[in-house]
Amino acid sequence: MTDSQPNIDVNSLSTTAKPSPKSDSMDDGNLRPTLVRASAGTGKTYRLTARLLRILLQGAAPETILATTFTRKAAGEILERVLLSLARAADESDPDALDALRQQVGIPTLPRSVCLKLLETLLKNIHRLRICTLDSLFSQLARSFPFELGLPPAWRLTDEIEEAWLRERAVDSVIAMLDRGEMMAVLSMLGKGDIKRSIARELLQVVEAAYGSQRLAGPDVWKKLIAPKLPESAEITRAAGVMRMAQPKQKRHRDKLEKMAEVLELRQFDAFAGDTMIANIASARRSHGEVLYYRAPFPEGVDEAFDVAYAAAKSDVLSRMSAQNEATGTVIGAYDHHVGQLKQSGRSIGFEDVAIRLAAEFSRLDQHSLAQRMDGAVDHLLLDEFQDTSPVQWSVLRPMAMRCAAVESPRENHSGDEERTVPKSFFCVGDTKQAIYGWRGGVAEIFDAVADEVPGITEVEQNTSFRSSPVVVDAVNETFKNLGRHSICDAADSRDPTDKAMYEAVAVRDFARRFPVHSTAKSDLPGHFQLETCSAVENGDSAARQRACFEDAARIAAEINAANPDRSIGILTRTNRGVAQLIYLLEQMDVDVSQEGGNPLTDSAAVEMVLSALMMAEHPGDGRWAFHISATPLAKVPGFGADFVRAMCDDRGIPETIEFLAGQLAPLCDARETLRLKQLTSLALGYQQNPAPRLRDFVRMVREKRVERPQAAPVRVMTVHQSKGLEFDAVILPELDGALTRARGGCVPDIDTPSSPPKGLSRYIGSASWHFLPATWQRAFGRQAEGAMTEALCLLYVAMTRARQSLRIVIQPTSKKAFATRTASSLIYHALQCQEDPTEPATVLYSQGDPQWMGSPDPDSVTARNDASASEREATTIRFRPPVDAA
């Protein structure tokens, strides 16, 4: 670097006290390895920016710093804060900004001239300051090691739509590779004896569930579940005879023994799989008690026969499960071969492919080679949102983290001699309570494992919110510290390793026990919290009650917006379907609303007309598309038909064809429909780069790809996942009545540590059959259930902590006063010890704070900031051309 770095002795200037673990204090002058557990709204980005500024002020060159986060928005915000903080501190007319920066970095005597010099240096070397997403970092690393990673020339990253297409093509290749006999055998094993009607769909489900896990370990992990042998034939026959000869007093007991004896005699052990009697035998063996049936014991002399029956059932279930596992490994191996060939020939590669190849390469790469390829050694590593890191990502980052955690080390010159001692630093920040991306591969436990893996690390907690009012913070504290009041936790002490409810109860209890009490820095900020049931619905099912919740949420948002249009309002849902319903309701109320996360463009009638025209050209013999077009303005174009559209696509390409079709419809469209047509044209421009563009594939992409409809609006609707990192003056939660956890299919890993690859994999089996599993696999299945419940609680925490002043929760009236459902709404109701009847509609169950909070604005409101970020993402304007003659 040509410009000299400002270098001041921060240790001599700083007067901040040394922080102790488990505190909210800032770092001292030493850049010791630090792990920060930052609760929601406590200034995570502020602290990371402070650390970055301190590193720069100590003279570190920009190219020696690497800061990673998970979204481009967050990366841009960090860079923006660094530059603006220095620019404002260098402004002589703004002494408060300099004082604020001094306090932030802990250097009370920081000169203004140093800020100006550092700002100038950064602006000249902005391209060398690496503040980026993990996707961007891994892409850069992959381009630095193309030959070592085996990447094709001129490779490109795929998106989720192209990945889905490649999966389907690879599955088709797998099906074509096997003859009919082999395919039937594999499918029989995959389905535990049942052959599904759709072969491709069955294989796709297997691939989606298990491919990512197997890639981390290899095909042998599917062979770890060993089935026990069947009892000897003579034992089985003897057990059947004992059951037939037994003379229980109760008829139902005699009938049950007769049926069990018949199963044993016919060797049809699969009939035992879901049998209550077999489960009772297992329960009696675990508790060393009697075998009961309808709460009554059997006569003496049949216990050994029961043991034989249970052993036969266990062998049968685990044998079929083992065969299913091995068949899964076979299918995944074949799929991996074919999808790899497709990607190599198409010069495309997925982000997960890049990460896995990098992890394998970095395990044997020396730091000198890495520094050369990256255009400079990384001496300072800062990791943001670390709770969302996956094991593969941590495998790539770990070598750099270990090197940077060593406070100082000698740097070698090109001749190999030691040149000078280089200061280094490691910093990561995150919050395991906000780990909501387990479905995407994130493993929150890695955050906890860092303290053990990185030497000499200091742990710091910060739980003082700079976002929320005391009322909102109190509601969060009361909810999560008292989760144990719900009956769901009663199973926590059962100590039954086959009981799924026990693992889930432990997860809830541990979340509450570990939850730190939050405080707020805005003690004078008014706020309001309210839990209420939705309006009455006559003869309504669950879907009707959910619609009532959405209607009430839309009404509340409309009322707040009418009372104070400057307030930012966020309506957060669990599903994208809920987003679409709320958008419709708010538009019906004439509320200016911005949709986040997106829906497919097919929510537009004009887009559907264009797609019908394309499908008419692709399938001219299918009269559906021509019938649809006949009732649209496109039918009035001279000579319009399938040949017209096909000729235009061949001569001008898909984007120009869509631009022409949209131009015919735009004059008749409102602003919303016109925006959707513009976005359709943008999709076509991107799709044109596809190496083999097909009309039907483009139409399918449009029907599947979610596209945002952003606009600067005070009311924003999105899923809880999409709200991560945002905040609103008022938050409304209308969708908390669904089950906390959903039934998980897929596969279950057996792992030693969170950061290690699985040593075994198994397809999922229902909790009613866990008693057949070996103890190791019972714990593996239990850990998965525990993790699913923890992630559900994290999702609830993220939803509730987005609010600054107002938090409104609208739930469905329950059918029973006990309200013991396994839902988020029930957890909140019992944690707050609500006294009102939850079966009554339109009832306030709990209320705290000032309902008129809108009259007391927060001076630090983020309304303008949120609106600005929305307007930055506004769709590219496309000029529609006037009608032209296709000929």
Q: Which residues contact 103 (CB under 8 A, 6 or more apart)?
A: none
Listed in sequence order, the residues at least 6 apart from 597 whose beta carbon sits closer than 8 Å to its beta carbon are 576, 579, 706, 708, 718, 719, 722
Mapping DSSP to helix (H, G, I), strand (E, B) and coil, where does residue 460 land?
strand
Closest CA to 14 of 29, 27, 31, 24: 29
Same domain, 484 and 582: yes
Single out the residue of 135, 140, 810, 179 nearest to residue 529, CA to CA: 810
45 labelled ligand-binding: yes
Residue 453 has pLDDT above 80, yes or no: yes
Domain boundary among 642, 671, 705: 705
Contacts of 209 (CB under 8 A, 6+ apart): 745, 746, 747, 763
Rounded to whole angstroms, the Cα distance separating 778 from 295 reads 26
Residues 731 and 866 in one domain: yes
Question: What CATH number has the domain bearing residue 505?
Answer: 3.40.50.300
Residue 430 annotated as binding site: no
Q: What is the pLDDT of residue 603?
A: 82
pLDDT above 90 coverage of the chain, percent? 53
pLDDT of residue 706: 81
Cα 160 from chain centroid? Answer: 14
Strand ranges inside 614-753, DSSP E? 707-709, 715-719, 728-733, 747-750
Check pLDDT > 80 for residue 58: yes
Structural domain count of the chain: 4
Contact (Cβ atoms closer than 8 angstroms) between residue 723 and residue 802: yes
47/15 Cα distance (integer angstroms): 17
Domain membership of residue 883 (yes or no) is no
pLDDT digits (tens, 9 = 90+) for 205-235: 888 888 888 887 877 899 999 999 999 999 9
Pick the residue with more confidence: 42 or 21? 42
**Does 885 map to a domain?**
no
42 is in an annotated binding site: yes
Find out whether 71 is annotated in a ligand binding site: no
Q: Given pLDDT bands bounded at 50, 70 and 90, which one contains residue 51?
A: very high
Evaluate whether 808 touches 530 at the Cβ level (below 8 Å).
Answer: yes
Q: With bands split at pLDDT 50, 70 and 90, how would you rate the model's confidence at 594?
A: confident
- Judged against a pLDDT cut of 70, whether residue 644 lies above it is answered with yes
Q: Name the percent of the chain lying above pLDDT 70.
A: 87
Q: Of 462, 489, 522, which residue is a domain's last?
A: 462
Q: What order do you get walking across the sheet with 715-719 strand by strand?
A: 707-709, 593-599, 715-719, 569-573, 728-733, 803-811, 528-533, 844-849
What is d(CA 83, CA 859) in angstroms, rounded to the nearest whole number? 23
Cα–Cα nearest to 847, from 477, 475, 432: 475
Model pLDDT, residue 692: 56
The pair of three-digit structure tokens given for residue 486, joined into one six-digit string: 């719900």
Q: Could you tell me the sign of the dihedral formed by the alpha carbons of 339, 340, 344, 348, in that order?
A: positive
Residues 275 and 356 in one domain: no
* Annotated binding-site residue? 43: yes
Per-residue pLDDT at 549 exceeds 90: yes
Helix extents (H) in 415-528 = 445-453, 470-481, 500-514
Q: 612 with 760, same domain?
A: no
* Residue whose tokens read 């057990």: 239
Q: Residue 632, annotated ligand binder?
A: no
Which residues, in sequence order, are CB contacts of 161 under 8 Å at separation 6+? 701, 704, 705
Confidence of residue 508 (pLDDT cuts 50, 70, 90): very high
Determine if the pTM surpasses 0.75.
Answer: yes
- The stretch 254-267 carries a mean pLDDT of 94
Domain residues for the domain of 605 are 601-705
What average pLDDT score do residues 85-95 get?
A: 93
Does residue 651 share a domain with residue 559?
no
Q: What is the pLDDT of residue 156?
A: 87
Number of Cβ within 10 Å of residue 249's Cβ equals 9
Specify whether the backbone of 22 is left (phi greater than 0), alpha (psi in -120 to 50) or beta: left
516 pLDDT above the threshold of 90: yes
Q: Does a structural domain hold residue 113? A: yes
Do 358 and 329 share a structural domain? no
Mean pLDDT of all residues in 780-790: 93
pLDDT band at 84, cuts 50/70/90?
A: very high
Do residues 297 and 274 share a domain? Answer: yes
Once rounded to an integer, what is the mean pLDDT over residues 382-391? Answer: 90
In a domain, 645, yes or no: yes
**Quick one: pLDDT at residue 856?**
59
Q: Is residue 82 part of a domain?
A: yes
391 and 315 both lie in a single domain: no
At position 18, the amino acid (one-letter code) is: K
Q: Which of 883, 885, 882, 879 is nearest to 674 (CA)?
A: 879
Q: Are residues 833 and 714 in the same domain?
A: yes
Is residue 162 domain-shared with residue 230, that is, in the same domain? yes
- The residue among 440, 462, 484 that closes a domain is 462
Exposure of 559 by Cβ count < 10 A (0-12 exposed, 13-18 middle, 19+ buried)?
exposed
Residue 433 assigned as binding residue: no
Question: Which residues fall within 8 angstroms of residue 383, CB to CB, at 6 or more apart?
Answer: 67, 68, 389, 397, 401, 427, 428, 429, 430
- Shared-domain flag, residues 655 and 730: no
Identity of the amino acid at 761: L
Is 39 annotated for ligand binding?
Answer: yes
How many Å is the maximal CA-CA distance in the chain?
100
pLDDT beyond 80 at 260: yes
What b-and-e string marks burial along 672-687, b requiring 16 or more CB atoms within 10 Å of the CB? Answer: ebbbbbbbbbbbbbeb
CA distance linking residue 802 with residue 730, whole number of Å: 8
- Residue 259 pLDDT more than 70? yes
DSSP-derived letter for residue 839 is: T
Q: What is the rounded average pLDDT for all residues in the chain?
A: 85
Mean pLDDT lowest for which of 21-35, 148-162, 300-314, 767-781?
21-35
Is 785 part of a structural domain of the chain?
yes
- Evaluated on CA atoms 606, 610, 616, 619, the torsion sign reads negative
DSSP 397-414: HHHHHHHHHSSEEEEE-T
Taking only the tens place, the pLDDT of each residue in 817-826 is 999 999 999 9
Structure confidence at residue 770 (pLDDT): 94
Comparing 204 with 819, which gets the higher pLDDT? 819
The arithmetic mean of pLDDT across residues 239-261, rounded, is 92
Residue 66 lies in a domain: yes
- Same-domain pairing of 836 and 814: yes
| Residue of 473, 521, 563, 516 whose CA lies nearest to 849 | 473
Residue 95 in domain:
yes
